[in-house]
């Protein structure tokens, strides 16, 4: 096969590094933007953070009258100092601690047990395999293999089962369980079984756990030959148990509470909106003037650069160009976000006045893209992980977008309205005979909302509501 060369003219569209950087900045929420700017300041020597003048510096010094000055105490300054330390005293640091973790608490309890050195090492390793919920979700054979490789102790699943039985006796109750059934039974084993309801609850968990999980209550009452009142009391005993025993230990636990910092602040006074960006913690950056002057000094009066300064000149110039582009990208991000949020505010004015979700108009990304003249992908990046603070709470921008559903009269309504009706129907249903998706579809169709059963199931799952069988109560 002959090898030849030929010229081909083609048209290609590629994103420049600057455009990619702009897209990534657009997606960042306020917290991550602050971290991104600080990282850029560390990477680029030309960038520096602008110092913001404090409120105390902006305030003018207050004038003090002569009478106020004369009323001040003329106590000598040496009487205001207290010296309770000698030369031999040493300044001791104050150590801060977060408390013991769950694993440390369990190992401490093992110290009160009369265990051999081998059993203690195996127990400590098993405790280290327990997750935050308090479960041991690995099979003992795999744990035995890991112990042989890491600790160098040959053990078996039977020996680890014996050690795990010791861990099951520790606090909090149910720790080290391998499934929910074992966890609930371990908690009941540490409770005095002195009532009929507790004995019945233990019997249900031991012999009829699958039927209990699937809520086959009538079948269970028939098999156990108990009354409905006794069965209800047994179910109440089971519900008092914790499905996640690791959460019962709070000392020194990791704080997983999500802190939301809004990207926009919306104030409404006298029916007028005031929209602003929440950029209080975001540092303002600028180009260091020292490097700009250095660049000018490298260029002579004739406009030529010396050979020894050429490499330094190119380095400083590239850093300055990168800094200017980064500052421009930050400004463009601010303008794009404000432009998009203003369009959303204009589109949903009735909702933002009082936060009534029934006034939320159907809105998709294309509606805002048409109003702003931006691309749909740009709008998607803007609303992703962005929040707005209003007088009725902090709202996720993405939650404001909903599909339009058409009623029998031809009117377009938001899917939120259908979800509210769906939730109301489920809240008011008879828990002994919960409504199926087919029945919910018939109710919505009778109200004029043309909706299919699979759409009802989709909305129900979005609301976090289980199927009718799992909503059943006695």
pLDDT in tens, 219-266: 888 888 888 888 888 888 888 888 888 877 765 544 444 577 888 998
Q: Check whether residue 383 and residue 432 sit in a common domain.
A: no
- In the chain the first and final C-alpha atoms are separated, in Å, by 81
pLDDT > 70: what percent of the chain?
83
Range of the domain at 396: 264-400
Is the pLDDT at 55 greater than 70? The verdict is no
Residue of 338, 318, 341, 340 lying closest to 330 (CA atoms): 338
Which residues are CB-neighbours of 420 under 8 A, at least 6 positions away?
A: 357, 358
74, part of any domain:
no
Q: Which tokens sit at 339?
A: 């432009």
Domain assignment present for 411: yes
Question: Do residue 216 and residue 276 come from a single domain?
Answer: no
432 shares a domain with 369: no
Our CA dihedral for 355, 360, 365, 368, rounded to 10 degrees, sits at -80
Least confident of 15-24, 164-173, 298-307, 371-380: 298-307
Domain co-membership, 394 together with 408: no
Question: Would residue 28 count as lying in a domain?
Answer: no
Q: What is the CATH number of the domain that holds 462?
A: 1.10.10.60
**Beta 272-277 vs 47-49: how paired, if at all?**
unpaired
Q: How far apart are CA 236 and CA 233, in angstroms?
A: 5
Please indicate, yes or no, if residue 370 is contained in any of the structural domains: yes
Task: State the Cα–Cα distance between residues 189 and 199, nearest whole angstrom.
Answer: 11
Task: Kindly tell me if the per-residue pLDDT of 186 is higher than 80.
Answer: yes
Q: How confident is the model at residue 302 (pLDDT cuts 50, 70, 90)?
A: low
Same domain, 232 and 109: no
- What average pLDDT does this structure show over 295-303? 69
Q: Looking at per-residue confidence, does 271 or 221 come out higher?
A: 221
Q: Does residue 389 fall inside a structural domain?
A: yes
pLDDT at residue 312, rounded to an integer: 78
pLDDT computed for residue 158 by the predictor: 92
Query: Are 301 and 384 found together in one domain?
Result: yes
User: Is residue 313 domain-shared with residue 382, that is, in the same domain?
Assistant: yes
Alpha carbon distance 42, 38 (integer Å): 6
Give pLDDT, residue 413.
Answer: 67
**What does the pLDDT average to over 143-158?**
89
Q: How confident is the model at residue 344 (pLDDT cuts 50, 70, 90)?
A: very high
Whether residue 308 is found in the same domain as residue 378:
yes
* Same domain (yes/no): 396, 411: no
What whole-number percentage of the chain has pLDDT above 90?
11
- pLDDT for residue 377 is more than 50: yes
Q: Bridge partners of 274?
A: 267
Which pLDDT value is given to residue 456? 85
Among residues 142, 170, 198, the one where a domain terminates is 170
Q: What is the pLDDT of residue 406?
A: 63
- Asked whether residue 53 is assigned to any structural domain, the reply reads no
CA 11 to chain centre: 43
Residue 132 lies in a domain: yes
Contact 172, 229 (CB under 8 A): no
Q: Looking at residue 102, what is its pLDDT?
A: 84
Contact 268, 352 (CB under 8 A): yes
- When pLDDT is averaged across residues 374-384 and rounded to a whole number, the result is 88
Phi, psi of 266, rounded to the nearest 5 degrees: -120, 120
Q: Which of 84, 78, 130 is nearest to 107 (CA)?
A: 130
Same domain, 268 and 396: yes
Co-location of 387 and 296 in the same domain:
yes
Of 251, 272, 306, at which residue does a domain stop?
251
Q: Which DSSP symbol is given to 281?
A: S
What is the tens place of the pLDDT at every residue in 3-38?
Answer: 888 888 888 777 677 777 778 888 888 888 888 888
Tell me: do 335 and 355 sit in the same domain: yes
Give the long-range contacts of residues 224-233, CB within 8 A, separation 24 or more: 224/200, 226/200, 228/474, 230/196, 230/197, 230/200, 231/200, 231/474, 232/474, 233/196, 233/197, 233/200
Domain end point (choices 224, 251, 278): 251
**pLDDT above 80 for 139:** yes
Instruction: Quote the pLDDT of residue 38.
Output: 87
357: pLDDT strictly greater than 80: no
Structural domains of the chain, count:
4
The answer to whether residue 130 is domain-embedded is yes
Give the pTM. 0.57
Confidence band, pLDDT 50/70/90 cuts, at residue 68: very low
């Amino acid at each position: 096969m002959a090898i030849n060369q030929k010229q081909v003219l083609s048209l290609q569209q590629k994103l420049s590094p600057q455009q990619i950087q702009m897209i990534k900045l657009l997606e960042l929420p306020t917290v991550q933007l602050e971290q991104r700017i600080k990282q850029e300041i560390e990477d680029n020597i030309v960038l520096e953070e602008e110092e913001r003048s404090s409120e105390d510096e902006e305030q003018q010094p207050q004038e003090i009258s002569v009478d106020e000055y004369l009323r001040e105490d003329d106590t000598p300054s040496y009487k205001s100092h207290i010296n309770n330390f000698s030369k031999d005293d040493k300044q001791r640091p104050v150590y801060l601690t977060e408390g013991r973790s769950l694993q440390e608490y369990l190992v401490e309890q093992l110290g009160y047990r009369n265990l051999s050195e081998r059993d203690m090492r195996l127990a400590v390793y098993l405790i280290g395999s327990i997750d935050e919920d308090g479960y041991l979700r690995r099979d003992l054979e795999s744990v035995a293999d890991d112990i042989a490789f890491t600790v160098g102790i040959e053990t078996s699943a039977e020996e680890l089962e014996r050690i795990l039985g010791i861990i099951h006796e520790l606090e909090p109750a149910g720790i080290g369980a391998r499934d929910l059934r074992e966890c609930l039974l371990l908690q009941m084993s540490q409770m005095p079984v002195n009532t009929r309801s507790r004995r019945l609850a233990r019997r249900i968990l031991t012999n009829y756990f699958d039927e209990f999980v699937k809520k086959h209550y009538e079948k269970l009452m028939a098999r156990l030959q108990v009354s409905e009142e006794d069965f209800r009391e047994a179910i109440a005993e089971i519900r008092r148990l914790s499905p996640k025993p690791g959460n019962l230990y709070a000392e020194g636990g990791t704080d997983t509470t999500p802190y939301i910092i809004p990207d926009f602040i919306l104030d409404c006074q006298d029916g007028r909106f005031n929209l602003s960006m929440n950029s209080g913690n975001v540092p303002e950056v600028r180009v260091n003037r020292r490097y700009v002057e250095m660049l000018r000094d490298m260029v002579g009066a004739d406009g030529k650069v010396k050979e020894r300064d050429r490499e330094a000149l190119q380095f400083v110039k590239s850093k300055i160009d990168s800094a200017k582009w980064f500052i421009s990208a930050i400004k463009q991000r601010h303008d794009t976000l404000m432009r998009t949020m203003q369009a959303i505010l204009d589109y949903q004015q009735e909702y933002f006045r009082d936060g009534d979700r029934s006034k939320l108009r159907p809105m998709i990304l294309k509606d805002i893209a048409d109003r702003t003249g931006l691309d749909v992908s740009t709008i998607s990046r803007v609303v992703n992980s962005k929040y707005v603070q209003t007088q009725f709470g902090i709202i996720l921008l993405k939650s404001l977008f909903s599909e339009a559903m058409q009623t029998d009269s031809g009117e377009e309504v938001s899917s939120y309205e259908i979800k509210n009706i769906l939730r109301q129907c489920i809240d008011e249903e008879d828990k002994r005979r919960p409504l199926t998706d087919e029945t919910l579809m018939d109710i919505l169709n009778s109200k004029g909302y043309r909706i299919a059963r699979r759409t009802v199931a989709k909305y129900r799952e979005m609301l976090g509501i289980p199927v009718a069988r799992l909503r059943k109560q006695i």
